Amino acid sequence: MATVKEMRTRISAVKSTQKITKAMQMVAAAKLRRAQNAAQSGRPYAERMAAVIANLAAGVTGDGAPKLLVGTGSDQRHLVVIATSDRGLAGGFNSSIVRAARQHIDKLLNDGKDVKVITAGRKARDQLRRLHAQRLVETFEVGGAPSLAVAEEVSAKIQELFEAGDVDVVTLFFSKFQSVVTQIPTARQLIPAEVLAGAPRIDLKGAAYEYEPDEATILAELLPRNITTQIFSAMLENQAGFFAAQMTAMDNATRNAGDMISALTLQMNRARQAQITKELIEIISGAEAI
Instruction: Tell me the CATH number for domain 37-248.
Output: 3.40.1380.10
For the chain, give every residue range classified as CATH 1.10.287.80: 4-22+249-289
The 10s digit of each residue's pLDDT in 127-149 is: 888 888 888 998 998 888 888 88
Residue 84: how many CB atoms within 10 A of its CB?
32
**Residue 228 pLDDT > 70, yes or no?**
yes
Alpha helices in 58-179 (DSSP H): 67-70, 93-110, 122-132, 148-163
The 10s digit of each residue's pLDDT in 148-202 is: 889 999 999 999 998 888 899 999 999 998 888 888 899 988 888 876 655 555 5
Q: Is 205 helix (H, G, I), strand (E, B) or coil?
A: coil
The 10s digit of each residue's pLDDT in 14-42 is: 999 999 999 999 999 989 988 988 888 88
Q: What does the alpha-carbon distance between residue 155 and residue 225 come to, in Å, rounded to a whole number?
A: 8
The 10s digit of each residue's pLDDT in 56-111 is: 776 666 666 777 777 788 889 999 999 999 888 888 899 999 999 999 999 999 99
Sheet arrangement for strand 169-177: 136-140, 114-120, 77-83, 169-177, 183-191
Reply yes or no on domain 4-22+249-289 having CATH 1.10.287.80. Answer: yes
Amino acid identity for residue 285 in this structure: S
Q: What does the alpha-carbon distance between residue 206 and residue 262 come to, in Å, rounded to a whole number?
A: 71
For the chain, give every residue range classified as CATH 3.40.1380.10: 37-248
pTM for this prediction? 0.81
Q: Is the preceding omega at residue 146 within 30 degrees of 0, hence cis?
A: no
